[in-house]
């Protein structure tokens, strides 16, 4: 019967239960069970409208304006930029090159006397730590390799990490000074340790 499918809400749409005064959906009975004709609570409806508005604004911002806070890659790049500005030394790339200017070497010499001489000898001849004047190296003799050793240390062998003690620039200065000691004759040279390596400088 076509009548059963008519949209009953369009006409006189509800009945009142004579016993409880509840609003019932009209002409809607299954196995003697009636269904209440409740409205959705206003807070629920408003919440729904708000999500719609939110969704539309989100779509427009994302696809229309390509908002930087909605696109992860852009957000990431911006955060990295900000971090770099707040903390310039951490993210600047280091150029692993031996410094040769007199000012850097003088600075390096001072740093060596303060931080390294106790273990490597005042002239770099070696004490607890290895001799820097010979051709033998345990961890390699490139600026990059030495920078790694000085930054991170070799804790189990007693070499201190310096990354939180002196800046990257200072590490490069002291390393350049260390390299300048190669081939000099220390007062009491320590026996060679490590492998004999070509001298790249």
**Site residues (CB under 6 A) for ligand HEC?**
115-116, 118-120, 128-130, 137-139, 146, 149-150, 154, 157-160, 162, 174, 178, 193-194
Q: Is 73 helix (H, G, I), strand (E, B) or coil?
A: helix
- Say if CB 183 and CB 132 are below 8 A apart: no
Task: Pick between residue 24 and residue 116 the one whose CB is nearest to ligand HEC.
Answer: 116
Residue 154 CB coordination number (10 Å): 14
Task: Pick between residue 24 and residue 126 the one whose CB is nearest to ligand HEC.
Answer: 126
**In sequence order, which residues have a C-beta less than 8 Å from that of residue 61 and are 6 or more positions away?**
67, 70
Distance CA 169, CA 28 (A): 83
Closest separation between CB of residue 170 and ligand HEC, Å? 9
Task: Pick between residue 61 and residue 139 the one whose CB is nearest to ligand HEC.
Answer: 139
Task: Pick between residue 82 and residue 167 the one whose CB is nearest to ligand HEC.
Answer: 167
Task: Pick between residue 8 and residue 136 the one whose CB is nearest to ligand HEC.
Answer: 136
- Say if CB 176 and CB 112 are below 8 A apart: no
**Among residues 94, 92, 117, which one has the least CA distance to residue 177?**
117
Closest separation between CB of residue 115 and ligand HEC, Å? 4
Closest separation between CB of residue 96 and ligand HEC, Å? 13
Distance CA 23, CA 36 (A): 6
Closest separation between CB of residue 118 and ligand HEC, Å? 5
Closest separation between CB of residue 101 and ligand HEC, Å? 18
């Amino acid at each position: 019967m076509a009548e059963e499918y008519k949209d009953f809400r369009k006409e006189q749409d509800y009945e009142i239960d004579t016993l409880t005064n509840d609003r019932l959906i009209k002409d809607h009975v299954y196995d003697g069970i009636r269904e209440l004709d409740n409205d959705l609570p206003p807070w629920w409806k408003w919440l729904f409208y708000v999500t719609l508005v939110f969704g539309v604004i989100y779509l427009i911002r994302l696809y229309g304006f390509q908002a930087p806070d909605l696109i992860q890659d852009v957000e990431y790049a911006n955060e990295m930029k900000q971090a770099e500005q707040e903390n310039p030394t951490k993210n600047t790339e280091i150029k692993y090159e031996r410094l040769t200017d007199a000012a850097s070497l003088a600075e390096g010499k001072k740093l060596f006397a303060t931080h390294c001489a106790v273990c490597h000898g005042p002239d770099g001849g070696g004490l607890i730590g290895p001799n820097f004047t010979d051709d033998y190296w345990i961890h390699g003799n490139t600026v990059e390799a030495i920078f790694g050793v000085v930054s991170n240390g070799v804790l189990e062998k007693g070499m201190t990490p310096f990354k939180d003690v002196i800046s990257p620039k200072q590490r490069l200065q002291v390393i350049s000074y260390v390299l300048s000691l190669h081939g000099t004759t220390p007062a009491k040279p320590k026996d060679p340790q490590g492998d004999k390596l070509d001298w790249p400088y």
